[in-house]
Amino acid sequence: MQLKDKIKQILHKEYPEEKAWKAFIYWWLAANGYEYDAGRSLVEFTDGSKDGGIDVIAWPLESQSRKEVLVVQSKYFRQPPTEKELQRFQGAIAALNGSLNDFQTWLGTCRDELHHSYRNLRDERRRHRYILIAPCRFRGALKRSLRRKNIDVHDADMLANLERIYSVGKTPRLDEIRIPGASPLRRVAENDGIGVWVFTAPARELGLAFERHGNALFAGNIRYALQGDTARRVRKGMYDTLREAPHEFVFSHNGITITGDKIHKRGKAVVMRSATVVNGAQTVSYLGNPTVMKNLAHNPAQVIVKFIEVDEAELLNDIESKVAYRSNNQNKVSPSDLMIELPSLVSLQRYFRRHGVHIERKKGEQKLHFGEPGISKERLAQVLAAVESSEGAVKGKRKQELFMGPAQRLFSDFAASEKSRAEAIAWARVDDIFRATVKRFANAKRRKRAQLAQLASLRVFHRVIQATQLKIGFLHAMTRWDSDNDALEKFLERSFKAVISALLRCSSQHKKNEPAFYKALESVKPAVRSATWHCRRKVRHCYHQYLSS
């Protein structure tokens, strides 16, 4: 399949309501790691007659680690840019960076409604990044000429690579990671085009690299910096060593691993091209913490860096996955960690993000906005399995077992269409309300039993709305969550109380007040059947109350 057709398929699925050329811009931004899907108001389309040679301005996002303004000329999939169009784009860049008279003269050639935006663009003190996107192949001399004029050229080769990494949820590796003050490079191994280099780098310089690039440093890692007791102990150990024995840090720390396609020494700095940190996210992000950086101002601590040099792009992707899997020893890799590149899960994450819900696909992945509702991929698999069947409610209690089989099918089924993705996000919201309702149970013993039976309660609720023919109306109502969430929350809270009461009543009768009914399929099936029968009238009444509110 040609590149054009592959990208058109993505645009049709991910941006069905957008014009093709606008969808192409949103896709390009997302593929490069910019989160404009959740901040589309900051993408300004200027294309049209008398646009001055600029098609798009993307203003900086709050969550963007590099505070830069993107100034874009895009051809989508029409003919390559003509010489005149290239000259107009270069003229716009010269005017924005030239004298006021030159700028005013150029501004007079643009539409009146663009004057305010272009004045703001010229006054914007943050870095401008000029980008030409054209799905064609440029002559080498022309590409070099454009780059000398500070224009990033994204041609067919770069777009093909973007399409490959976008489908598995990755962001491009950094063009280069530069570490000043590093020791001389030493090659320690080489085999079949793969070389291994070792050097030491100042801990402060690694912290500064994190300040500059943020989580973009870890594009090829299967996880970001983790939380929890193990991570806290490791960070405390690093902090104590940095303060008390910084010269010993290089001996007591096992170092970090970076992959890329080129490494060389430039002056006193080591430069790694097309690079990503595949082991050591916790170390690098901790060293970049503002509190720690204060103690690194004149700190001699050094860190061992292993660089794996791989020329072939496809082989590089494979190598980084293997290294990330085999070198994470402090927190063992689980089956769910290995599913982060599943295209259907990636598609679900992007859909959820556009609707204000965060899926933690990679462990340690940060939310875009503080207070944003979120769900981990492990919990989402549990919820979808429980909704599907009573057997799924049982399997959901052992979440890693789900990722050895059913989870892949579940994500694929729920990512297949716009309707099924909307249903997935509805069940994620339902689960969030159910969990919040459980926490408000007054009786501690009843609250504990309700928590244990929560996945079974999702199955009961699903069967009830199916049996009462409320499912279609309920899912349609959930699409209005942003404007109707208060009334929907009340309906879900009342429904859940009815469902869980029926389940616990069944547990009390058949298991002598023990919560074991949710653990085995032969016990869950009759409990779900009985609870569905007993609470459907109450749920229907709650839904009618919601409709009349």
pLDDT at 330 over 60: no
Q: Which two tokens stand for residue 364?
A: 């340690």
Which residue reads 């057709």 in tokens? 5
Q: Is residue 338 part of a domain?
A: no
Same domain assignment for residues 312 and 348: no
Whether 248 and 394 map to the same domain: the answer is no
Q: What is the pLDDT of residue 211?
A: 85
Query: Residue 119 — pLDDT band, cuts 50, 70, 90?
Result: very high
The parent domain of residue 514 ranges over: 343-548
Min mean pLDDT across 83-87, 174-178, 326-330 is at 326-330
* Residue 432 domain flag: yes
Which residues, at least 6 apart from 204, have a Cβ–Cβ distance to it below 8 Å?
287, 293, 296, 297, 299, 301
In a domain, 212, yes or no: yes
Are residues 155 and 191 located together in one domain of the fold? no
Count of Cβ atoms closer than 10 Å to residue 471 Cβ: 15
Question: Over pLDDT 90: what percentage of the chain?
Answer: 31
521 confidence band (pLDDT: 50, 70, 90): low
Q: Within its chain, how far is the Cα of 290 from the centroid?
A: 24
Instruction: Note whether residue 191 is domain-resident.
Output: yes
67: domain CATH number is: 3.40.91
Domain end call among 279, 308, 333: 333
CA dist 182 and 386 (Å) reads: 52
Same domain, 186 and 322: yes
When pLDDT is averaged across residues 61-82 and rounded to a whole number, the result is 79
- Indicate if the pLDDT at residue 313 is higher than 70: no
Going by C-alpha positions, the residue among 384, 426, 375 that lies closest to residue 402 is: 384
Do residues 424 and 462 share a domain?
Answer: yes
> Is residue 189 included in any domain, yes or no?
yes
Q: pLDDT at residue 336 above 50?
A: yes
Q: Minimum mean pLDDT among 57-66, 225-234, 498-507: which range?
A: 225-234
Identify the CA nearest to 31 among candidates 135, 130, 167, 191: 167
The domain total for the chain is 3
Does the pLDDT of residue 2 top 60, yes or no? yes
Angle among Cα 211, 27, 83 to the nearest 5 degrees reads 95
Question: What's the pLDDT at 470?
Answer: 92
Is there a single domain that holds both residue 151 and residue 221? no
Task: Convert the pLDDT of each residue in 430-488 to its tens digit.
Answer: 999 998 888 887 677 778 778 778 888 899 999 999 999 999 999 999 988 888 888 99
Same domain, 140 and 42: yes
**What is the DSSP secondary structure assignment for residue 18, as one 8-state letter?**
S
In a domain, 329, yes or no: yes
Q: How confident is the model at residue 324 (pLDDT cuts 50, 70, 90)?
A: low
- pLDDT digits 0-9 by tens, 97-111: 989 999 999 999 999
User: Within this chain, do residues 239 and 129 fall inside the same structural domain, yes or no?
Assistant: no
Position 402 in a domain: yes
Mean pLDDT (whole number) for 286-297:
86
The predicted structure's pLDDT at residue 59 = 92
349 and 266 within one domain: no
Q: How confident is the model at residue 528 (pLDDT cuts 50, 70, 90)?
A: confident
Which of 299, 333, 367 is a domain's end point?
333
Whether residue 322 sits in one domain with residue 454:
no
Q: Which of 224, 171, 479, 482 is nearest to 360 (CA)?
A: 224
Same domain, yes or no, for 363 and 510?
Answer: yes
pTM: 0.77
Q: Is the pLDDT of residue 205 over 50?
A: yes
What's the pLDDT score for residue 438?
Answer: 85
Residues 161 and 182 in one domain: no
Residue with more model confidence, 201 or 334: 201
Residue 81 lies in a domain: yes
pLDDT at 382 > cutoff 80 = yes
Query: Measuring CA to CA, which residue among 391, 387, 377 is closest to residue 521?
Result: 391
Mean per-residue pLDDT over the chain, rounded: 85
Given 167, 193, 217, the domain boundary residue is 167
Query: What's the whole-number mean pLDDT along residues 403-429?
Result: 91
Question: Which tens digits make up the pLDDT trace of 12-54?
Answer: 888 888 898 999 999 999 888 888 887 788 999 998 889 999 9
